Structure 1
Amino acid sequence: MIRSAGEQVDVTVTYLRMTARPGYPRPHVPVGPVTALIAAERPPLWYFLTLYDAVGRDYEWTDQHDASAEDVSAFLHDPAVTLYTLVRGGWPHGFFVLDGRAPGVVDLSYFGLVPEAIGRGLGTFLIQTAVHAAWDRPGCAAVTVNTNSLDHPRALPLYQKAGFAPVRRASFQRVLTRDRSLIDS
């Protein structure tokens, strides 16, 4: 079903948690072009928003555009927050952000691949790498993430396969900013 920009839709958010380091090993870098995972040091706002839009534009990622530039920059420059970029073949294929500002908890606050990288087997590599990076932080007792029904349909199964378990769900309504195809549940 095609839904138009400006239409109000129901959205379900699923909150997930992991309370022990998973048993799977650190993943190997996928075969193919030169691949690097780079942690950004005090990334400029434009860099984060470029990745954020490239990954999230089809999934209604708009919250960071509603925040002030100062607030988003303060988040990115907090020493407990790290943005990682997956670069493959010389260009960004995806990113994730780990937010360790809450004592004992590391939140995977953003995670995703650009459209051109989806379906190439990079999602499993990136989520497993993100999970291990979160657990490597001193004092980590839990890792959290959330997703919603506007995200990629494989997001929730990917998180669960990586070891996250749903702990609660919430529903709200939102106005679409772009035309999109939605699967009615």
Structure 2
Amino acid sequence: MTGFRAGQTVPYTVTFLEMTQRPGYGWPHTPNGMSGALLKADTPPVWYFRALYDAVGQDYAWTDIHASEDAQIADWLNSPEVALYSLIDKGWPQGFFLLDWREQTSCELCYFGLVPESVGRGLGAWMLRTAILTAWDREGVQKLTVNTCTLDHPRALVQYQKYGFTPVRQEERARVLVRDWTPATS
């Protein structure tokens, strides 16, 4: 697939999804071959979040968080209503998800993804189901939301729907790339 150069404008579609009841499936079994753990970060430093964000998002043109100041990100990450989970296996981060319960009765799955080296090992489905059930475990949650876009992994939208999310609206947007980017194809 053709790549794009920094400075080019790329159109994309954002799909907003929600889940209004806890899914009927149970906690998933750990994937074969995984010897690590999913760890909740306590007061994670901004550099750690940015490193995960960049490692997961580099193939999907994730750059928005870089417009935010460190102090703003630190306040967000250190809120008792926000939780960052890292999947650590073989001694290094394989992926992460971030849940935000700051809106009353709702949780947002703000970020979710695997580093490129971990895609295709069965970790994504396991981690997504775990993220969903973790979100619903908080008392009072009546809705779980997430969004994805056509710049993300090509299977992201289908996976969210497979595990219980329903699209509720779409928006057409465009962004100017801040670095060269080649869309993921599988």
Q: Same fold (TM over 0.5)?
A: yes
Contact 1:34 1:90 in 2 (8 A): no
In structure 2, the partner of 1:109 is 110
TM-score, scaled to structure 2: 0.95
**2:25 corresponds to 1:24:** yes
In 2: Cα distance, 1:179 partner to 1:50 partner: 18
Deviations 1:52-94 (CA, angstroms, capped at 9, x unpaired): 1100112111111100111000000000000000111221100
Report the aligned-residue RMSD.
1.2
User: In the alignment, residue 24 of structure 2 is paired with which amino acid?
Assistant: G
- Contact 1:11–1:150 (Cα < 8 Å) also in 2: yes
Matches for 1:9-158 after TM superposition, within 5 Å: 9-158=10-159
- Structure 1 window deviating more from structure 2 (110-119 vs 5-14): it is 5-14
CA apart distance, 1:2: 2.7
What is the count of residue pairs matched by the alignment?
A: 183
Amino acid of the residue matched to residue 176 of structure 1? Answer: L
Unaligned runs of 5+ in 2: none
Between the aligned partners of 1:83 and 1:182, the Cα distance in structure 2 is: 26
Asked if structure 2 preserves the Cα contact closer than 8 Å seen for 1:15 and 1:147, the reply is yes
Which residue is equivalent to 1:3? 4
Amino-acid identity (%): 52
Q: Distance in 1 between matches of 2:182 and 2:74?
A: 33
What is the CA–CA distance in structure 2 between the aligned matches of 1:71 and 1:8, rounded to whole Å?
Answer: 27
